A = this chain, B = another copy of it.
């Protein structure tokens, strides 16, 4: 049997494996990727948020791989990769009551871009192939259709045997996700999974899903058409994503990604009904959702999962790391999966390159990666669990949404600040500063007590779940906290005003934002998050 040698062997060839691979190869390590299937492949994980895109910039800049930054906006994806991805100018949430049309007061929308710079609905089969080719260009050796027979992880190194050859390496990274071989081998999965979130999903790609804008009364319109972003239909016990790829002038892709995600305790899975039948049975209850699907047809088989949460006791150890979704997963709500992956790659890359430099592969050397990954999962679980609880009423959801928006806005500002300072100084320590956080894996640093506010809000939401608090009380409490921290609120989205449901996207609002950043933001906010010239910001945001 042929023998191959490399520094790092990576299992899988999805976007996490290839980004990790190209960074390590660019940094001088020899890398082999092993993939049991082959590209092109259907995958979900399509919708980016500003944190995702900014972390793409961080990785591209820090590790000298500009191709990663090609994923940082819809426009950049279209230019460098393909017009098959969709544009995401907004994140929209529409609340539905059983058997009732939507109310023009029960929706939220926040802006995440314009026709010049917007977030993206990544058409993964094309994106993943582009990243695979890029990894190959940087020198990664990729073997597809390769079945792994055995993995041996020992103090001196790694041995992997496949159906065609054997590989020896110094380190192994498992990027294969839920079915992670390393997690199986080392018996790392928590059983049962102790996350608070309990959800399952039914999803596919469809054609001829109507634009939701054509399904609701004109006076229900939000400032940005629903079709121009990621639409979330919310209802008690679940939510439905609608992610169009066909929503721009140059679109050549007719598909819309559609997925129904359900609280398993309110909607237990039954074997008696097909995924498609269940999908229609549930959306049938919501007259404005069913309108959107009156002519829709799936172009592939529906996937119906069991509970999608899983976690691991441990994700790094002597000479191995479970990368992101190989460690655990919460839920696609809030689109944090890919962002969490990039945070992990950022942290693991530095740690691993140091390990090779110093020939130190001990557990403790990698401890920061362990803490980061477990933190990312745990905080994401609270965020999503809070959302599912809040879906019981628009009033509660409308409060919890603000907590997500406030904390993730400060998460965004943290990265913008680092990129802006790097841009002004070319001092790499500003990017390296992102490696540590006072609360590892949290949505935002706690330097201005945002995460304390988050935890207080989560606690009161949990009281609603256990009937120790009413929805009205909880909502009132959350808004009162937001009002008392008004000075931290960023004046594009009026976080603290219960009756304001949309981000203001007029130019005047952006001027207000700049004025606030320069003159009104509290000194702690300016020191921590706005410590750069305003003129740098545009450069940073548009890459």
Contacts and interface: CB of A to CB of B under 8 A. Distances in A.
Contacts of A498: none
B299 A207 contact: no
A115 interface: no
A40 B38 contact: no
Interface string A227-255: 00000000000000000000000001111
A301 B39 CA distance: 10
Interface in A35-91: 38-42, 80-84
A253 B132 CA distance: 13
A137 interface: yes
Given A40-B42, A133-B299, A300-B38, A83 B252 contact: yes
A208 interface: yes
Contacts of A133: 207, 254-255, 299
Contact of A40 (B40, B80, B83, B145): B40
Contacts of A255: 133
Interface string A125-151: 100010011001100001111000000
A208 B300 CA distance: 33
Contacts of A281: none
Q: How many copies does the complex hold?
A: 2
A297 B38 contact: no
Interface residues of A, number: 30
Given A40-B40, A144-B301, A207 B137 contact: yes
Contacts of A145: 301
Given A38-B301, A129-B299, A132-B299, 19 more contacts: A38-B300, A39-B42, A39-B300, A40-B40, A40-B42, A80-B252, A81-B252, A82-B83, A82-B253, A83-B83, A125-B125, A133-B207, A133-B299, A136-B299, A137-B207, A143-B301, A144-B300, A144-B301, A145-B301
The 3 closest A-B pairs by CB, nearest first: A40-B40, A82-B252, A40-B125
